[in-house]
Amino acid sequence: MQQHLTLLELNNKIKATLNEQLSPTYWVVAEISDLKGSPKGHAYLELVEKTGNYISAKIRANIWAYSYRSIANRFQSMTGQSLQNGMKVLAMVNIQFHEIYGLSLNIQEIDPNFTIGERARKKQEVIEKLTKAGLMDMNKQYPLPTVPQNVAIISSSTAAGFGDFIDQLKNNKLNYAVNWQLFPAVMQGNEAVDSILHALAQIAQSPTPFQLVAIIRGGGAQLDMDCYDDYELGKAIAQFRLPVITGIGHERDECIADLVAHTKVKTPTAVAEFILSGFRDFEDKLNLHLKRIERSVSYLLQKEHKAIRDIEHLLISLFKNKLFQSSDRLVNYQRKINSESLNFIKLHYSSLENLSGRVKRQSKTLVKNEISLLTNLEKDINRLNPHFFLKRGYTRSEIDGTPIITRPAEAGDKMITYTLNQIIESHIVSIEKNER
């Protein structure tokens, strides 16, 4: 059987080797990241080193409470700033190896003369560059929609923060409906900047009429948030044509993305609550206006109802007065009509008698004249009757029912001739012209 060690024995060997081979303390240049305090006064942090934008080294560190108070106060008094994430510091550290918790550094001193770290300096440079370009408050100029119903979300589909955000939107107690669309992106690490920029470009080109953009990320180490201090990302957020809300899931520091966004909240859940608060505010205002309208309508109805009653009473009174006046006037008119009618009849009675006699005489003369005219017309009509001509010895001839006066006769035609007492049928043998 091969010789072996237990894990505890191996860790003890590592610890003993480190204690034997390494000096008790070292002065180390590193950047502070993910600095946290504890209720007992200890400080927990990470020390990192970067090559360009990439992390080349990282280790856990702590400052015990009895040292942290004096180190922090001395650093504050000499630099005018408190220890914070992003500062590059020169620290005297003691290397510790624990059988369970592994390798870490205990910081015993920090040299305040080693000024602000490169990370904070770069962030300040980005802020100054954005300020000089007039971009810091550009996105804040866009008004927030009263009721943002179409929201574009930039997040990782697998992030817990995204799930919390959607759960908050869907399960709100007042059942507000928010239409949302996820534009997936890498939300931390070296690929985050390009991924978020790509998502913003997709939103700008989308046919959906979005009213708001939410950039959300749930938790993670402070170190993972370096991407949100990038100049190009800050510029893109500032210049975006819709209000941008950030909920990047941190509580201690503001990143560049927070500073240039329209509104910054702490967590994805807080972003959802912020959106829903717009609905509540709108509903409250709407209910307030509805109550005002109800009161106004009720007042106007009461006022108009009273006015209608007053008009009704006035009309009844006026109608009665007019009725009495009209009744008296009608009685007077009736008397006057009766009197004037009798006078008119008496005045025109004799004229009517004279007219009646004249009409009778003229009627007789007219009838006599019309009878004479009709008698003469009868004589004229009788003279035009064909029978009248036949009695005088004339005849009438037809070919095929047509008088020969209108139809030229031809040899071979059958001709019918009418006399007073006979109808003669003949066939035309020949025709000679009458020269007369």
- Give the pairing of strands 88-98 and 102-111: antiparallel
Mean per-residue pLDDT of the chain: 86
77 has pLDDT over 90: no
The domain 7-116 is placed in CATH, from the list 2.30.36.70, 1.10.1740.10, 2.40.50.140, 3.30.420.40, at 2.40.50.140
Q: What does the pLDDT look like over 361-413, one tens digit per residue?
A: 787 888 888 888 888 887 777 766 777 777 777 788 888 878 887 777 888 88
CATH code for the part of the protein at 123-279 = 3.40.50.2300
Rounded mean pLDDT of 98-114? 89
- Rounded alpha-carbon distances, angstroms, from residue 312 to 305, 317, 434: 10, 9, 104
Binned at pLDDT 50, 70 and 90, residue 1 comes out as low
Contact at 8 Å (CB) between 256 and 233? Answer: yes
Binned at pLDDT 50, 70 and 90, residue 106 comes out as very high
291 has pLDDT over 80: yes
Q: Do 7-116 and 123-279 come out as alike in CATH topology?
A: no
107 has pLDDT over 90: yes
**Can you give the residue ranges of every domain in the chain?**
7-116, 123-279, 348-384, 389-427
Q: What is the pLDDT of residue 219?
A: 61
Contact at 8 Å (CB) between 398 and 392? Answer: no
The whole-angstrom separation of Cα 64 and Cα 108 is: 8
Nearest to 59 by CA among 83, 82, 33: 33
Q: What does the pLDDT look like over 318-336, one tens digit per residue?
A: 888 888 887 788 888 888 8
Binned at pLDDT 50, 70 and 90, residue 81 comes out as low
What share of the chain has pLDDT > 90, as a percent? 36
